[in-house]
Amino acid sequence: MTPNDEMTSKMTLFDVYALQPIRITKGAGAWVWDDQNNRYLDMYGGHAVISIGHSHPHWVERIETQLRQLAFYSNSVHLPLQTELAEKLGQLSGKENFRLFLCNSGAEANENALKLASFHTGRKKVLAFQRAFHGRTSLAVEATDNPAIVAPVNRTGNIVFAPLNDLAALEQAFTEHEFAAVIVEGIQGVGGIRVAEPAFLQRIRALCTQHGAVFIADSVQCGYGRSGQFFSHDHAGVEADLYTVAKGMGNGFPVAGVLIAPQFQAKHGLLGTTFGGNPLACAAALAVLEVIGQEKLIENAARLGQYLLDELSRFPVILNVRGAGLMIGFDVPDSHADLRQNLLFQHHIFTGEAKGNVIRLLPSLALTREEADLFLEKLMAAISAG
Ligand SMILES: Cc1ncc(COP(=O)(O)O)c(C=O)c1O
């Protein structure tokens, strides 16, 4: 490197994301704008993160007020907003007898849940499912069914994979291993919107109880009302031992948590984090719960989701429409492989993707009927154009 190079070189970003050539600069409700002031309907919700709508005024106000008062203090003192958040979350989720551990991301929530299960049972093995995604950290990534993102150091051999919704394989796995935990998304997100059948989740519950294993409901993407119930596992009428939450919890403010059933023993130092549960994150998370309650967003997700599922299942070309609430997926045949990019660039609609040419819909839970209809109209136009 010459002295000249040194003067002109700048730090650049570590290039790990396949980026769309769009610069998003503003958001409101289910809409975002780029730097050319083009408006896009966000049916992707910034990857299932936007629960109450971009920059919801109540959320902005709550964060601004908190920022002026106290942005951060550590978990070495009482932070009353954390207690308030736990109470409100208990009420809305129906898990009032659970306790809450606050952290910062979905992977971290799953990592802590897996540790807690191992501490609790004294065991090591974990059952996860094919196509699962649980995050990119240590054990969470090993429990993720994607060898390309598992580093050699993450390969502990403690994870066993079984096919989702295969009852015989589930029973078989329990005869072969003594599990600390079973971790399962109620609806797989990254895996392409694959719904865990109620009978499958009920059998997991029964087997975990019978064998003393911990049932971890990864609700990072499918939870927080997105499926039309607070937890997507609620559709099966089962109660897990640990629920992990993130994405929609902060509506874009990084905050996550583990909801912990009464049988787990807390001990000082067992879990911990510097940033988890900081006052700003709690203010954002409280605002989200307040808006979800006041605006009846879980009911809205259930109603509009059913409407979209019914309408989409009558559409030509697209196949296997599936999901629940505002977590919907469908397959796109090779003849229309560019559908998602055409929706984005010709119709200004963001959608999500998954392997195998799957389109995922994960919009704000405050999506309106008019916005849903606009999406259906544009999708039909994009399909017709080929
Ligand atoms: C089901 C599920 N679990 C865990 C994660 C990881 O969350 P994060 O990216 O916040 O670590 C994701 C992220 O997409 C997810 O969909």
User: Residue 200: which CATH number?
Assistant: 3.40.640.10
Q: Residue 255 corresponds to which tokens in the numbers above?
A: 């905050």
Q: Give yes or no for residue 135 CB within 6 A of ligand 1.
A: yes
Ligand 1 contact via 145 beta carbon (within 6 Å): no
Alpha-carbon span 383 to 336, nearest angstrom: 7
Q: Is residue 104 domain-resident?
A: yes
Residue 345 located in a structural domain: no
Mutation choice for ligand 1 from 105, 149, 247, CB with most ligand atoms inside 8 A: 247
Query: pLDDT tens, position by position, for the chain (386 residues)?
Result: 455 555 679 999 999 999 999 999 999 999 999 999 999 999 999 999 999 999 999 999 999 999 999 999 999 999 999 999 999 999 999 999 999 999 999 999 999 999 999 999 999 999 999 999 999 999 999 999 999 999 999 999 999 999 999 999 999 999 999 999 999 999 999 999 999 999 999 999 999 999 999 999 999 999 999 999 999 999 999 999 999 999 999 999 999 999 999 999 999 999 999 999 999 999 999 999 999 999 999 999 999 999 999 999 999 999 999 999 999 999 999 999 999 999 999 999 999 999 999 999 999 999 999 999 999 999 999 999 97
What is the atom index within ligand 1 of the atom nearest the CA of 219? 1
pLDDT of residue 184: 99
Nearest atom of ligand 1 to the alpha carbon of 190: 16
Nearest CA to ligand 1 atom 4: 134
* C-beta of 42 in contact with ligand 1 (< 6 A): no
Task: Find out whether the beta carbon of 193 lies less than 6 Å from any atom of ligand 1.
Answer: no
- Per residue in 226-235, pLDDT tens? 999 999 999 9
From the CA of 47, give the closest atom in ligand 1.
14
d(CA 130, CA 126): 13
What gap in Å lies between CA 151 and CA 137, rounded to an integer? Answer: 10
Instruction: Determine, yes or no, domain membership for 332.
Output: no
| pLDDT tens track for 15-32 | 999 999 999 999 999 999
144 Cβ inside 6 Å of ligand 1: no
In which domain, by residue range, is 98 found? Answer: 57-294
Residue 336 domain flag: no
Within-domain flag for 310? no
| Cα of 257 from ligand 1 centre, angstroms | 12
Ligand 1, pocket-test mutation among 138, 221, 255, most atoms within 8 A of CB: 221
Domains held by the chain: number: 1
Residue 359 domain flag? no
Q: At a CB cut-off of 8 Å and minimum separation 6, what does 182 contact?
A: 126, 127, 128, 204, 207, 208, 213, 214, 215, 216
Q: Is 218 in the pocket of ligand 1 (CB under 6 A)?
A: yes
Query: 124 C-alpha to center of ligand 1: Å?
Result: 22
357 dihedral zone (left: phi>0; alpha: psi -120 to 50; beta) = left
Say if ligand 1 is within 6 A of residue 185 CB. yes
Measuring CA to CA, which residue among 261, 272, 287, 232 is closest to residue 104? Answer: 272
| H or E segment and range at residue 91 | helix 80-93
Terminal Cα distance for the chain, rounded: 51
Strands (E), the chain: 24-28, 31-34, 39-42, 99-103, 125-129, 159-162, 179-185, 187-188, 194-195, 214-218, 242-245, 256-260, 319-324, 327-331, 349-350, 352-354, 358-361
Is residue 217 in a domain?
yes
Identify whether 384 is part of a domain: no
Predicted model pTM? 0.97
**Residue 251 near ligand 1, beta carbon < 6 Å:** no
How far is the C-alpha of 284 from the C-alpha of 250, rounded, in Å? 6
